[in-house]
């Protein structure tokens, strides 16, 4: 069956959704829904994207670069909100054991990026405030940072919450060690399907990112994003990129099918060696589940995973 849409979890879909010039209100709506989900009290009125969407010429790409259209699992966008918040948005489809280190390092570098541009002494260390002169502090260069991380895997395994927000907080004193919105790390797990406290808008975003569709009752900007994902609305250049993505995805699925068949063979052998049917069946079932998890982590749709892993919808839906 011919594809009718691209997925927001692909490089093309992610960047097209959140960094297309003239469509900044989609990113603004998403960011505001995230911030409202934790009642942070931040109202975003203007967004400037630092790395706007740009359709590449696929004919100039090497073979390895073409493969990365599918296999690259770290997608990032950075923007300035209301001229005072540096916002780093990253989508991570596959689990990385160093992910916390990378996120903290990147966001802290943004926080201190202007620190050395302001000096204590010298001709430019004073600013006029009315008739008075006031020395600038290096710390005036520190910028407020919001680090938003979207995960396509279960990261906080012991929690059913899909949205996690972290600030620097002193438990004993029961107060923030920094201004509450000065440095914030946010995590949004797409796989957490059973968070009943998640807002209606964030549920709509989660569904959109996993399927490319807008559910009934979605905000207008989510519906607009879903329209952008339709193949019929792509430019010729975008369609060529999508074709490369689709072919690479089929190759990955074929590779996963090989791993799956190998797993079945090992399951047969294990079952035979153990001398009972139960071990054999458990080996096969476990390999199906492992295959499904890998396919989901790659951003494939539930329908594709059902076919690739030979599992029922209910099982794949629970894994997702």
The pLDDT tens digits for 109-167 are: 888 887 766 554 444 445 555 555 555 677 777 889 999 999 988 899 889 899 999 99
In this structure, of 171-180, 237-246, 300-309, the range with the lowest mean pLDDT score is 300-309
Q: Is the confidence at residue 282, as pLDDT, over 90?
A: no
Identify the pLDDT of residue 269.
57
* Torsions phi, psi for 81 (to 5 deg): -110, 125
Q: What percent of the chain has pLDDT over 90?
A: 27
Distance CA 205, CA 199 (A): 10
**CA angle (16 as vertex; 12, 20 as ends), nearest 5:** 150
Q: Is the confidence at residue 227, as pLDDT, over 90?
A: yes
- pTM value? 0.70
How do strand 132-135 and strand 169-170 relate by DSSP bridges?
Answer: unpaired
Q: What is the average pLDDT value for the chain, to the nearest integer? A: 78
Q: Is the confidence at residue 297, as pLDDT, over 70?
A: no
Chain-centroid distance of CA 223 in Å reads: 19
Identify the pLDDT of residue 50.
87
Q: CB neighbours of 291 closer than 8 A, spacing ≥ 6? A: 256, 259, 260, 263, 308, 309
């Amino acid at each position: 069956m011919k594809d009718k849409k691209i997925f927001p979890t692909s490089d093309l879909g992610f960047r097209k959704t959140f960094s297309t010039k003239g469509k900044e209100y989609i990113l603004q709506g998403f960011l505001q829904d995230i911030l409202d989900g934790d009642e942070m009290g931040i109202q975003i009125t203007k967004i400037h994207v630092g790395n706007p969407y740009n359709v590449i010429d696929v004919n100039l790409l090497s073979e390895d670069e073409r493969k990365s259209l599918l296999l690259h699992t770290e997608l990032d966008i950075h923007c300035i909100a209301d001229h005072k918040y540096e916002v780093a948005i990253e989508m991570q489809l596959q689990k990385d054991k160093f992910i916390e280190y990378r996120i903290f390092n990147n966001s802290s570098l943004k926080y201190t990026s202007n620190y050395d541009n302001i000096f204590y002494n010298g001709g430019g260390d004073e600013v006029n405030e009315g008739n008075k002169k006031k020395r600038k502090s290096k710390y005036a260069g520190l910028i407020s940072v919001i680090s938003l991380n979207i995960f396509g895997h279960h990261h906080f395994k012991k929690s059913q919450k899909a949205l996690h927000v972290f600030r620097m907080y002193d438990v004993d004193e029961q107060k923030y060690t920094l201004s509450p919105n000065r440095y914030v790390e946010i995590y949004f797990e797409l796989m957490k399907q059973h968070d009943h406290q998640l807002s209606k808008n964030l549920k709509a975003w989660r569904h959109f990112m996993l399927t490319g569709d807008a559910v009934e009752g979605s905000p207008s900007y989510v519906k607009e994003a879903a329209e952008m994902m339709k193949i019929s609305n792509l430019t010729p250049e975008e369609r060529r990129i999508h074709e490369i993505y689709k072919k690479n995805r089929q190759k990955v699925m074929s590779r996963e099918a090989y791993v799956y068949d190998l797993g079945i063979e090992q399951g047969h052998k294990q079952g035979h060696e153990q001398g009972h049917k139960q071990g054999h069946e458990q080996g096969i079932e476990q390999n199906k589940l492992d295959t499904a998890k890998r396919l989901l982590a790659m951003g494939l749709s539930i329908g594709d995973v059902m076919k690739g892993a030979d599992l029922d919808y209910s099982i794949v839906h629970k894994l997702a």
